[in-house]
Amino acid sequence: MFTSSTHEVPEVTAVPRHVAMIMDGNGRWATARKLPRVAGHSKGVETVRAMVEACAQRGVEYLTLFTFSSENWRRPADEVSFLMRLFLSALEREVSKLDENGIRLRVVGDLEKFDPLIRDRIAKAEAKTAENKRLVLTVAANYGGRWDLLQAARKLMAEGRKPEEISEDDLARHLAIAYAPEPDLFIRTGGEQRISNFLLWQLAYTELYFTDVYWPDFTAVELDRAIASYCTRERRFGRTSAQVVGNPVHQTA
């Protein structure tokens, strides 16, 4: 498990070690082209494929994608149904390609609400790619940051821990992505500027990058723009600017 950035200053590198993304704008991309919203989601899967490869090529070690939030169940039933079929199809079609390219897949969230077939495919995909080390791709599905904190607290209670004994590290080790360092760079496409209940604990010191580009149009060039912006940030983690001189990233936090 990785230590919280409020306890230790993480290593800062020119390429973010962990990138987290909210892939927003699929529906609006389709609407702008007079297509049904689901066409945007289908196109978005192609962007996911390209982005995984782009991140791996640039040396990103962890990529976390917010694919379906715990609030997305509020969408129209036909759209939710299509998203579930798309998720299942992607699991069946993409896992072999991920495995061939050394990508490890992990899926986090409250998975009990998903159809048993989807849960079965998730388990098989995770097992198939478990030994891969080139990049860890985390798919957050039926995930919410508040749910994550709640389930971690419940696990601590189940351990019988006394409140005064619980530390940040104790809570963090029960979070859904305790196996990954905190994100260095958060990217949200589609023009919205909020984190929408995504990785609430983990984003405390993450550099935020928002773009108006819809997810289906987000390319490797756009990723490079986000990384270039990240490289201008002064990542102080509570220190002074004088203390961070010499870091490989010229950083503003």
Q: Which residues are catalytic?
A: 24, 72
CA distance 12 to 244: 10
Tell me which residue of 55, 5, 45, 54 sits closest to 23, measured CA to CA.
Answer: 45
Q: Which residue is associated with the tokens 């050394």?
A: 102
Q: For residue 32, how many other CB atoms are within 10 A of its CB?
A: 11
